[in-house]
Chain A
Amino acid sequence: MTVTDAETRCIERDGSGMEWLDISSLMTLGTSELGVGELLKTESMTLYMALTSMEVMEPRLDMGMLTEEDKHEIAKWDVNRVLSLREVLWITQKLFYCEITWHSSASLLQTLYMCNYFTVQEIPDSVGSGRGAENPGRDLVLFPMIFALGACCLQVWKEYLKENIYAEEDVHFGSQPVEFFNQFSHSQVIEMMGTARGYLQEISTADNVDVREQEAAGVLLEYLEMRVLWLKTLTFLSVDCMIDDPSALDQGTKCLQELRARHSAFQNNPISDDLAVMVAGCFDPKCMRKYPSMAPVKPRPLLTHVQSHQAFDSLLNDLSLVHPLLQAESVESLINFFTCFANQQPMPFVRSLMASIFLTNNLVLLRYSPLSFIKRAIREISGPYVWDVLEYMEREPARLATGNTRVSQILVQDPLAAVSRIDGFCQEAARNLMDWFRIMCQNAPRQRRICLKYLTSWDVLQGEAEELDSWLYVISSSADNRASEMEAVNPAFNPFWFSSWAYHMKLMMMENALQIGVRLDLYLDYELPMIYGYGAQILQSHFDHLRRMETMLAGKTGQNKQLVREQSRRVEHKWWVGQYVDESTCLRHLSRWLVYVEAQCHLATALWLVSHACERLRLVRAPWARRLQGLSGDALDTCRQQETNDNQAVRYALRFRTFSRLNSPTPLTFGGWMTTVGQLDESSASELFAHASRTLGKARMVLDDGCNMLGNMDDGWRSKMQELRYVAVANSVALAKLQNLSDVVQNQALQVSGSLALAHRQILLGAAQPNAGEGSQSTSASEKETGGCGSAMTAAAQPSFASASVSKSKAKREKKKRRAAKQGQEQGALSKASEWLMATDNLGVSVVWSCCDASPQASNWHQFSFVIADKPASSS
């Protein structure tokens, strides 16, 4: 197709010299060959492209299209409107709601950019001049407040530019407002705010001013003071400022404290609702038409007055963590700090700032090199022994090479090469550790995803560390008793200092990934026995590992004294990362971990037992099993399909697929899991509850001892243990309540063993089936599930509903008799199974699994927990 002469004649020139060609006829001609709805697309077109495409002149998708309603709204806006202070207050308040809603992860297009004053092309000369103006509310108060707000936002935006926070947080800025806000420097903004302060003070004390205007001036003064303090806080606590100015942290902390006090007082003095007066047309919900945007943005509700101030309070509270973060004096306390921080889920700005403070310009906490930090991290857990050897190698390479050493047991051909190899490993380990800290600053869903993703690299790191440990063991063994390679890979001899640390970190991440899953509501009730069971398994591995490390470390205590220069112990290094860590300190670090992991292991075990018992009592049911009663048609089919062993295995494989590919700990296979579960089959539900209760008691006891053991070596562990203890107590109370409910105590379902309960369930499932063949399959699945337990019962009661043909011969009558007898048996079994079903229905309670309901510190702590609902269950 070509452009015809006629079309060429349609070329028009607009005022700017641009040439326009009307191609309507060409378009019509071209599309006439297409079918209705036919889509022309490149092969590379993706769903995302389709989703972000727009239909021109479709008002819901075409952001630039103006409807009559839009035109009416736009007409309400007048930039030259003379504003009263009550109107300025309304705009100021709404801007504050917009700002805090933005901080809470809303797009700027849905919040601040809605304000039409942001797109004013020419700022009146009277703004910032301090001279009397025709529109003082706008020029002396509102504009300075807007520029101060812009300065605050730019500080926040500078932090976001470090890209610690991902696009999903929706904090994008854009160039146009940056230009708008950059018209004035910080000092000019502060000066303008000073002028505004003077004007507002004058109004609030003048005699001839309306009382409500004076009230508005008073409130605006409060907003102004808070804005100035907020700007100072953001400036001083920015990473750039703290790097340049050593006093910035203290100044920022002081401003923050003052702001918190002022804001708290502000919150306690409510403002009357009718004081602020609305300004029509000032906020444009369709502001996106003014900005480039990939997809239409739907206006979202702003936080209310109360919500905004609560959120701001929370933001200030989170920012107060900057000071303790920079004051931390051990890697262990930092790990604790970031774990708790991650659980709190602060706003994206604070998470980004924490990530920047942790690592910027290849400096940890603005001071330390990642290499020295990682060495300290490993040293705090694995002890000083290997480091003393390494430092000796580095200090006395010549002596080592000639064998002329004070320490005869060390045989190293090339000590500097050994040190270099260790450094190489540490560089790699540092990358992993830095990543871990930065993961903790992500939102919870991303934390879990990245944790799972990075587990593989920790697994690889652990493997490299094992090789290093084996090599190190051989080269540092005594000359006359050189260690064999067999010995070097034997954990009974080789302490595996480096790999022990890597394994400890990996296990911690595995536990974390499981726990975040609970917090994110990823697991359904019926999966909980599996999750708690696997969790208990990992925690047990962790506990065993820590115990081994403790034994190794205790066994090595004092063995390397002659390697260390006495002064190196005494020298006070400038920074804590370089200071010596002795055995007793490491042992105390390990003891704290041991207590914590053991308590968690007890807790997970107890909840595994409870959830398993609840599942057996049908207080916890798989979605399809909830439909067990009155099954028919599709529902029955679904239930039958889902109850099979194969499907359980698939779900198990999907849930734990990351763990199953790790070299350690030994993955718990589905078969292994079923065997483990099978061990519970001979116990009744009441026995399981009693066992869980004792296990929760053990958790409390371990934590009590742990808190006593801490002494003054806290580092945040005390509150962590106390919170865990609270969860254990809350779960004990919930369990006692369940055990003591009269309906439950007298309920026969509690006395039924697991094998029998499973058999009953399979009988009922089979009885509901329309043909015998499928019933048999289901029963055999039950046998597999229980590892053979209860198979006699199941086999005897195997339902057979094949239609009995009518026979006239004796043989057939005999057969009929036998079949009748068998059916009698089946009916008996069915009747017992029905009684069991009815008993479980009559329990009259419901169990709610929750990661936070049981704990008052729900906002900053998550753990496995459950509550017993007060009201009888209405399900089934």
Chain B
Amino acid sequence: MAALGFATGGGSWFSALALGVTLLKCLLIPTYHSTDFEVHRNWLAITHSLPVSQWYYEATSEWTLDYPPFFAWFEYVLSHVAKYFDQEMLNIHNLNYCSSRTLLFQRFSVIFTDALFVYAVHECCKCIDGKKSSKELTEKPKFILSVLLLWNFGLLIVDRISFPVQWLFIWLMLLSIARLFQKRHLEGAFLFAVLLHFKHIYLYVAPAYGVYLLRSYCFTANKPDGSVRWNSFSFVRVISLGLIAFLVSALSLGPFLASNQLPQVFSRLFPFKRGLCHAYWAPNFWALYNALDKVLSIIGLQLKLLDPEKIPKVSMTSGLVQQFQHTVLPSVTPLATFIGTLIAILPSIFCLWFKPQGPRGFLRCLILCALSSFMFGWHVHEKAILLAVLPMSLLSVGKAGDASIFLILTTTGHYSLFPLLFTAPELPVKILLMLLFTIYSISSLKTLFRKEKPLFNWMETFYLLGLGPLEVCCEFIFPFTSWKLKYPFIPLLLTSVYCAVGITYAWFKLYISVLTDPLVLKTKK
């Protein structure tokens, strides 16, 4: 009795929150799942039935293994559990196989890896300084932060339809951030190195880690004006960091290097054959660019400035991942996006070097890196926005300015995930969950910062409120109009352009706040 009471009683609100979200996920088991389900099944089959040397050569299914080796090993481990559920799903040639037990296995693998994520959130909540401790539980920053992370709408729905492993990545990232906050730098670096070999998309935030560790860990002291003191460089620390990075990479890529497969692995990991944008445009800079191109080409056609014969007859949002030719504006090459990303990242990196502000500054830089790569990257998937949203939650409970950026970013970012769940039975689920998260995040942060200036100005309020009518138009009115057959892509286009505006704005605002933030001189102990 006492044990039961302790487990569920008053103080352990955290476990109640975590259990609640786990139960919600159990309830979501019968919902829609996307092709990612098949991708994942195929990878389980590949790693289970083939020797390591053929993992990155196998191409029976179109969904070849394109994640780094650690992830492949993770699948390998999972597959040994999977065989007790349904042996058939581990057959490579069993394309598009889906039994109820397979589904159950995949769903449960998500729910169980969840436990790790909960642990990471717990660690993150510990490193939030509770200077604003209020007596009321629901107004404590820790409580708000854990709800924002655990009940994150994006993770909930992306996980439903996508790999059971987003949690794993996010877990590693949050945990490594928490370790850096706790000054356990080596652990943090190790976790990040492992993360990179799980999913290489996190390369985008690697600069933030690199510079921060170099500046704040390898250089042990600062000059009084905050600039670096060159003679405080610690070789031991650099070597230990290097050793960690090297060992992890060796463990991961070593076997492939030994059998001379590295080029093949890399060709799978970095496929540049896909288009600039995903089938549905992620709401980033290129969405705006594409939209401008479309508008210009339509205007051009109206004014007879363009020759209709020369216009490529490929609609960008028709549903296939393909190369795309811009009509008016110059076409974008992978190199251009790479340079764009680099230029966007650089100022934040400089800022991190010249104005070190401890872990908080690092976190801002990391978010900027993630957001910039989302804004300018090649073939960005819309769910990549979660890379920025989740770390941003950590910042949001600290300062009113950050909270307002967070709310704009999260709300638009989450709304832009709506097209991922497009089936009718799930429509109420996504709307309800989105409302739940948005109402909670906005009102709890408003309550937390009620003594400071209002979080939104009239323009931002107007923009956020506009999401409601947009949703109504796209999903309730548009399907009943005659345009549905002629221009099926209009709702997607509208959603992505509208959200792109908000995300660009949030990115801009965050950048300005980082660049103009006054340098806080830390008094050395």
A binds B: no
- Residues on A close to B: CB < 8 A? none
